[in-house]
A = this chain, B = another copy of it.
């Protein structure tokens, strides 16, 4: 039998803070680029098209002593049952013996590591003087994207929010986002005065709902898309030189958030080339022949370790296509297990 640590949603959402998760995701991108982390093939199954599906993402980070998996189910009709449609569960195993170490509710981990990923795209690819951030989508992910991006960027002054389903949701999102950032993200730093003050100042920006998406795109330095869209919402004609895109929503064949023609004139970076081509925002432009696989500049980890170039001019349009890789989940799970161990949280079971 083995001792396995169980970390549930309440524990994990209390102990993880965004700065640490950003560090963990940066670390894992560089480990992957150095060949020190392996991604295994993804398993995807549609129970019923548009109704329910699941995927299993798995991988190994030997340096962290972990391998493991995350199973994410999406059951669209859960909302009627007062349940979240997306449910994530992770197990991590020891790379020395293969024994299970932890079972984790992966919902909050997924939120945090996805927020971190979009923000890391902006940190390494957007112009340092970027002042205007546009968030497309008002779902569960949007607050994570905003918190993480405000933390990594130093000059954001305005965050615009666009909701493709209509402006009402954007308006109510803007009304509550200040409180959400304070309660869900800033509050984690209560015991670290310096971090608290620094982040409080970064969160102190103007939030504005978008009514005219064309105008908003033209005024934005960084655009983060986080929707389940299957058709482009942003036209290439609207985009000004120097814009950075972090495309977060596409993680399944057929999903698309921005005009595929933007890829023709952009510098394209991804988290994992194979996954981006199969299920990411990069899928459609490649399938339509607008770019080829060779036009992708590379994985962001290679940029972080200096093996490939990033932005070379203030006029470059850059795209970071992040589909989300198992290694992010594993590294964030390791972080959570480490903190839980120190704070003596979670439940230990015999398996």
Q: Known contacts A1-B105, A8-B1, A43-B40: does B93 contact A71 (CB below 8 Å)? A: yes
State the Cβ distance, A204 to closest chain B Cβ, in Å: 33
* Chain B residues whose CB sits within 8 angstroms of the CB of A349 once the complex forms: 6, 8, 103, 347, 349
Q: Please, how many angstroms separate the alpha-carbon atoms of A58 and B6 in the complex?
A: 22
- Asked if A351 and B1 make an inter-chain contact with CB atoms under 8 angstroms apart, the answer reads no
State the Cβ distance, A86 to closest chain B Cβ, in Å: 8
A45 close to chain B: CB less than 8 A: yes
Q: Please, how many angstroms separate the alpha-carbon atoms of A43 and B44 in the complex?
A: 12
Chain A 73-115, CB-CB to B under 8 Å as 1, else 0, gives 1110010010100010101010111111001110000000000
A69 close to chain B: CB less than 8 A: yes
* Chain B residues whose CB sits within 8 angstroms of the CB of A64 once the complex forms: none
A235 close to chain B: CB less than 8 A: no
* Chain B residues whose CB sits within 8 angstroms of the CB of A45 once the complex forms: 38, 40, 60, 67
Among residues of B, the one whose C-beta sits closest to the C-beta of A72 is B98
- Asked if B60 and A47 make an inter-chain contact with CB atoms under 8 angstroms apart, the answer reads yes
Among residues of B, the one whose C-beta sits closest to the C-beta of A75 is B98
Contact for A71 among B41, B75, B91, B350, CB less than 8 A:
B91
- Asked if A97 and B75 make an inter-chain contact with CB atoms under 8 angstroms apart, the answer reads yes
- Asked if B69 and A98 make an inter-chain contact with CB atoms under 8 angstroms apart, the answer reads no
- Asked if B351 and A103 make an inter-chain contact with CB atoms under 8 angstroms apart, the answer reads yes
Instruction: Give the number of copies in the complex.
Output: 2
Contact for A83 among B52, B67, B99, CB less than 8 A:
B99
State the Cβ distance, A307 to closest chain B Cβ, in Å: 25
Indicate the member of A2, A83, A93, A97 with the most B CB atoms within 10 Å: A97
State the Cβ distance, A14 to closest chain B Cβ, in Å: 13
A9 close to chain B: CB less than 8 A: yes
Q: Known contacts A1-B105, A56-B58, A103-B103: does B95 contact A47 (CB below 8 Å)? A: yes
Pairs of residues from A and B, 8 with the lowest C-beta to C-beta distance, nearest first:
A73-B98, A75-B98, A8-B350, A89-B100, A6-B349, A105-B351, A40-B43, A8-B351
Query: Can you identify 24 A-B contacts, CB atoms within 8 angstroms?
Result: A2-B105, A8-B350, A41-B41, A43-B43, A47-B67, A52-B98, A54-B67, A56-B69, A73-B93, A73-B97, A73-B98, A73-B99, A75-B96, A78-B98, A81-B97, A83-B97, A87-B97, A87-B100, A89-B91, A89-B351, A91-B91, A104-B351, A347-B350, A349-B349
